[in-house]
Structure 1
Amino acid sequence: MVRRTIQHLPADAMPLSLDPFMPGLTADGVAVLLAATLLGGLVRGFTGFGFAMVFMPLASIVLGPVAALGLIWFIDLPFALPIAARSAKRAEWGEILPLLLTATLALPAGIWLLTWLDRETMRWLLALLVLFAVALMASGWRYHGRPTVPLSLGVGALSGLFNGMASIGGMPLAVFWLGAQRNDRHRTRANMQTFFGLSTLISGTILWWKGIITLGGLLMAVPLFAIYGVGLWAGTHGFRLASEETFRRGAYLVIFLSALISLPLWDVLIGR
């Protein structure tokens, strides 16, 4: 799936050192992937979520949504599992497990939509969903009280659907947990990171079965691992120093700009 998508892209100006890993990509395309990985890592380390909300809109410009989905799984896997293991002790399992159950059940429906919709429609849908989520979180909306079982199940289903479509399953959770702020930000990050680690294992099995996770995606991820690690490290240290207000505004701004830049609306204007 990754190789077929990349073959339609220009093949000039590719940095020689990355050619074995990213065949057919231009220097501009590689630069977009590197920037998306670094920015996504910063947001992920800083907030505990948001890598896909930054990476997917930008990577989809270069690779298309299907190939970008397979790539993001490889990039995040080596980091998501250890982070989840460390966060599990602080997480609230009574909130996580109902969400994880319905997320798993809804995941195949999201993958079906990803493969059924055409590339441009998916790019529009992805960018608009991310913009809507950021607007909702930044609006000051709050959910008061502890979540009910039906609400948790519904949020989990949305998370699974969005995870299958574009690996943005953290978006409904961010609105649900970060927007409500029932817990302090440390508990919120622990919940998200634990959920993501478990859902990564589950989604990987289904994505491999559907042929979206491929050897081509693994090779492309190799030079991006270090970039993502640097972003995670910097974001994690920034989180320890930042105030609550900075914590929110920084995440919202980076995610908003990534989605805005990725809109197909700009393709004609900039010759993309």
Structure 2
Amino acid sequence: MPALITDLFPGISSAGISVLLAATLLGGLVRGFTGFGFAMVFMPLASMVVGPVAALGLIWCIDAPFALPIAAGNARQAEWREVAPLLLTATLALPAGIWLLIWLDRETMRWILAVLILAAVALMASGWRYHGRPGIPLSLGVGVLSGLFNGMASIGGMPLAVFWLGAQRNDRHQTRANLQTFFGVSTLISGAILWRNGILTMTALLMALPLMAVYGAGMWAGTHGFRLANEITFRRIAYAVIFVSALVSLPLWDAVVGR
């Protein structure tokens, strides 16, 4: 690999850098195509290379420059009666998720991340649907889970995807608008909390610079794919990419591949 690239990733092998680049591209494709899922793809794979704490800082640095303007463009279409209570409870639960991330050891966190993501994909792919308009207790509960998962692994979109993507009354355009708006506002909030906890560092920012370009390319391709795909293809591609990423990241395979 070029010396400039390796200099930006101190202490990481060429194979590790390749994993980060591939995870970023796949995550960008899913994010552009579905409106969510970057962290669900990137986090388990990046955790194999740099560990969950550093991977969380990388996710924020890579996604923030894209999430904020995208959220601004989707805010008017979002259904704020659903988004606002979710944001409130997610913010309150976020510090607890960060505490778990720091307290749990690296391998345990990798197992938790992979299992949570695999369970979410299984639930979404099972055909489960939520009927009716969600009440305040349900929205608040989903918000708590989102904040907790966001602090642990920046996968706060996972419970939201189950909640909104699975809702029969929401089409994919409404789902994308809700998710994009939520991510933009929560990015500002989580950034302040991550910085205060020492997770956002200059090292993470420098590592994120080349990954931002890859992420942007993936998002561009994913967005164009979204415009062409039908509803069934839209869901199947998202489920498949997230499922494979979580499966590959399981610590179960460490001995097999020599990690």
Please indicate, yes or no, whether the TM-score normalized by the shorter chain is above 0.5.
yes
Whole-angstrom distance in 2 between the partners of 1:131 and 1:120: 17
- Counterpart check, 1:30 vs 2:17: yes
Task: Write the deviation string for residues 7-37 of structure 1: whole angstroms up to 9, x where unpaired.
Answer: xxxxxxx642212211111110000000000
The aligned residue for residue 239 of structure 2 is 252
Whole-angstrom distance in 2 between the partners of 1:266 and 1:103: 33
Whole-angstrom distance in 1 between the partners of 2:211 and 2:70: 18
The aligned residue for residue 126 of structure 1 is 113
SS, match of residue 45 in structure 2:
helix
Gaps of 5+ in 2: none
- CA root-mean-square deviation: 0.7
Deviation at 1:263, TM superposition (A): 0.1
Preserved CA contact (<8 Å) 2:6 2:14: no
- Which residue, 117, 126, 149 being the options, matches 1:139? 126
Gaps of 5+ in 1: 1-13
SS, match of residue 20 in structure 1:
helix
The aligned residue for residue 11 of structure 1 is none
How many residue pairs are counted as aligned between the two chains?
Answer: 259
- Which residue, 91, 96, 107 being the options, matches 1:109? 96
Whole-angstrom distance in 2 between the partners of 1:57 and 1:116: 18
Preserved CA contact (<8 Å) 1:40 1:50: yes
Q: How does 1:50-129 map to 2 (within 5 A)?
A: 50-129=37-116
- Counterpart check, 1:271 vs 2:248: no
Whole-angstrom distance in 1 between the partners of 2:161 and 2:212: 24
Deviation at 1:181, TM superposition (A): 3.5
Percentage identity across aligned positions? 78
Letter in 1 for 2:95: P
Question: Which TM-score applies when normalising by structure 1?
Answer: 0.94
Preserved CA contact (<8 Å) 1:15 1:27: no
Deviation at 1:268, TM superposition (A): 0.2
Give the 4+ runs in structure 1 shifted more than 4 A. Answer: none
Task: Write the deviation string for residues 64-94 of structure 1: whole angstroms up to 9, x where unpaired.
Answer: 0000000100000000001000011110000
Question: Which TM-score applies when normalising by structure 2?
Answer: 0.99
The aligned residue for residue 248 of structure 2 is 261
The aligned residue for residue 150 of structure 1 is 137
